[in-house]
Amino acid sequence: MENLRVVFGSNIGTRFSEWAAAHYLDDAHPSVPSTFQHRSWHFRSVVPRLTSPPPRPPYPLNTIALSNAAAADVTLVDGGAAYFRFGVAANTTATVNVTSGGGQLPSGSSVWVARTR
């Protein structure tokens, strides 16, 4: 961790969060800021080639689909990430509650929401 702090600064947790977000957002939409891209890779075409024999499936990042009033439970280790997808119809709103065991998230946790359409 000390070597990473020398390169990235003291807020290494933020960098890890951005890196995890980039796994999903890289090449997902042309307007994704460079902070959330793997600029030297095209993840959505490279990763399937590294993980599967032909015929290759689409980008294999596991995501969890959410629907109305659905709850999704995941267990994360320090530095882990989970990816959820949901849609909201035009002219409507959505509420997403993120908790840890029904309570507050631990300090240092991050929740990112990205609109991809």
CB-neighbour burial class of residue 21 (10 A; exposed 0-12, middle 13-18, buried 19+): buried
pLDDT given for residue 79 in this prediction: 83
Is residue 55 left, alpha or beta, with left meaning phi > 0 and alpha meaning psi from -120 to 50?
beta
Domain boundaries, the chain: 2-85
Mean pLDDT of 15-38: 87
Residue 105 has pLDDT above 80, yes or no: yes
pTM: 0.77
What digits encode the pLDDT tens for the residues 47-99?
888 887 888 777 778 889 988 777 888 988 888 899 999 988 999 998 888 99
> What average pLDDT is seen over the chain?
86
pLDDT given for residue 8 in this prediction: 83
